[in-house]
Amino acid sequence: VLSDGKTGDGCGLHMQMPKRFFRFLAEEQGWRLGKEFAVGQIFLPTDPQLIEQYTAIIKEELTRETLTIAAWRDVAINKSVLGEIAA
């Protein structure tokens, strides 16, 4: 296994979802959350056509499971701290 001392394994786990934070964020953005909701973290490519294609697949699969998307949110990133492998 290669390591550069900066790149993690990508395995992050929240034991409890910070519901208060997400409800605050939703209210701030004008999004409507149901009593029960889930949050997903999806890493998409930078190519706009691929983003459109992938999000369409995600929406289709969630609809198939009778789920809906309340909102998408872009999260700020800082590529300067990435290890060589992650970059």
Of 36, 30, 42, the residue nearest 71 (C-alpha)? 30
Segment 56-70 shows an average pLDDT of 95
Percent of the chain with pLDDT over 70: 91
Locate all alpha helices (DSSP H) within the chain, ordered by sequence. Answer: 19-29, 48-64
52 pLDDT above the threshold of 70: yes
For residues 35 and 81, the model is more confident at 35
What local confidence, expressed as pLDDT, does residue 83 receive?
79
Question: Residue 38, Cβ neighbours under 10 Å: how many?
Answer: 11
Residue 48 token pair: 């706009």
Q: pTM value?
A: 0.66
d(CA 46, CA 48): 6
pLDDT at 77 over 90: no
Measured in whole angstroms, the distance separating CA 84 from the mean position of its chain's CA atoms is 22
Token output for 10: 């990508």
pLDDT confidence of residue 49: 97
Cα–chain center distance at 47: 17
